[in-house]
């Protein structure tokens, strides 16, 4: 599931290859203006599919962000995937954020569930329950439950998840990808201590979202 960081995510290689071929073909026919437009789109794809290595905090009880982006929710809710009260922290990713998703805490995958749905703006609260999404329920080594939910957005049309029930996963491990613009909801034990606030910018694997108690 984890793989060496080639700086450009493997999910982007086919897109980049096709775009480059189209741009070169246009150049060969002296269609300079169209070729320039396609090369500009190639640069957009290049930044979208970047996948840089990240620092991972060693603090044992730290829950790290599963995605780059901006915090849009910190609230007490019910976790519908693990049927429990929870602290939910949501990270919204725009098209300029890194879209590689990372595991928030060491543990074992207990459940993976996909739900078809809508594609409303992922910045809206209703996206958590109405949009297409994929939930991964993890039991940590201390027995706590952490649920990561990849949520498709207005432009996103593909959620990729490589985690499977029974997998042993590590904090910061790469487990999925979403194309293009989306959000990830993190459901934690209700007594977890949040370390971020709405509007904060966060980085996958590096930013501590919350700390588990006990």
- Which residues are catalytically annotated? 182
Q: Which two tokens stand for residue 99?
A: 């879209």
CA distance 114 to 137: 12
- Give the pairing of strands 145-152 and 182-188: antiparallel
CA distance 45 to 31: 21
**The tokens 């297409």 sit on which residue?**
132
CA distance 130 to 156: 14
What is the torsional sign of CA 47, 53, 55, 59? positive
Q: Which two tokens stand for residue 181?
A: 């613009």
Q: Which two tokens stand for residue 105?
A: 């805490």
Q: Could you give the C-alpha distances from 92 to 55, 67, 77, 129, 174, in angstroms and in order?
A: 21, 8, 18, 15, 18
């Amino acid at each position: 599931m984890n793989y060496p960081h080639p700086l450009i995510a493997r999910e982007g290689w086919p897109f980049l290859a096709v775009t480059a071929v189209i741009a070169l073909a246009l150049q060969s026919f002296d269609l300079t203006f169209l070729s320039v437009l396609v090369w500009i789109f190639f640069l957009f794809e290049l930044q979208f599919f970047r996948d840089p290595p990240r620092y991972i905090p060693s603090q044992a009880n730290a829950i790290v962000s599963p995605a780059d982006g901006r915090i849009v929710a910190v609230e007490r809710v019910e976790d519908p995937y693990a049927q429990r009260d929870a602290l939910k922290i949501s990270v919204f990713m725009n098209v300029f954020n890194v879209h590689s998703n990372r595991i928030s805490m060491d543990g074992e995958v207990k459940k993976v569930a996909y739900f078809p749905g809508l594609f409303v703006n992922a910045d809206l609260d209703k996206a958590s329950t109405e949009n297409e999404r994929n939930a991964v329920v993890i039991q940590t080594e201390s027995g706590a439950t952490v649920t990561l939910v990849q949520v498709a957005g207005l432009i996103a049309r593909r959620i990729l998840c490589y985690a499977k029930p029974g997998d042993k996963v590590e904090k910061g491990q790469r487990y999925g990808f979403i194309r293009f613009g989306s959000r990830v909801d993190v459901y934690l034990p209700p007594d977890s201590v949040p370390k971020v606030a709405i509007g904060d910018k966060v980085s996958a694997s590096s930013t501590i979202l919350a700390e588990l108690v006990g």
